[in-house]
């Protein structure tokens, strides 16, 4: 099964970016969500910049209690990294297209 790799990067107090993953600044371990049936992260506890790297085409949705639906949301293409901003209380949801 292919995964959606989620890497978090630090944001300083006040929402200022301290790094964006070009030269480091990774905040914690990478999280992998299996691309297939709908899967999602837990709610984020702080405002966070993430780098999403899909190993296969997928559809994502970011928001409070969001659930990805194959016919809705944003399509990501395999192997193309996508930066995103996730607010406190939101989560990332993924499903196969």
| Secondary structure of 26-83 in HEC code, one letter for each residue | ECCCCEEEECCCCEECCCCCCCEEEEEEECCCEEEEEECCCCCCCCCCEEECCCCCEE
What residues does 53 pair with on adjacent strands? 5
User: pLDDT-based confidence at 22, cuts 50/70/90?
Assistant: very low
Q: Which domain holds residue 15?
A: 3-95
How many domains does one find in the chain? 1
pLDDT digits (tens, 9 = 90+) for 40-88: 999 999 888 899 999 999 999 999 999 999 999 999 999 999 999 899 9
Counting every residue written for the chain, the total comes to 97
23 has a pLDDT exceeding 70: no
> Residue 77 and residue 52: Cα distance in Å, rounded?
11
- SS3 state at 14: helix
pTM of the model: 0.84
Phi, psi of 75 (to 5 degrees): -85, 130
């Amino acid at each position: 099964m292919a995964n959606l790799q989620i890497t978090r990067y630090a944001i300083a107090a006040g929402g200022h970016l301290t790094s964006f993953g070009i030269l480091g600044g990774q905040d914690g371990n990478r999280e992998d969500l299996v691309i297939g049936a709908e899967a999602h992260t837990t709610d984020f506890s702080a405002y966070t910049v993430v780098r999403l790297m899909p190993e296969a085409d997928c559809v994502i949705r970011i928001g409070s209690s969001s659930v990805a639906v194959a016919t809705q949301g944003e399509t990501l293409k395999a192997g193309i990294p996508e930066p995103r901003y996730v607010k406190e209380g939101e989560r990332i949801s993924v499903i196969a297209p």
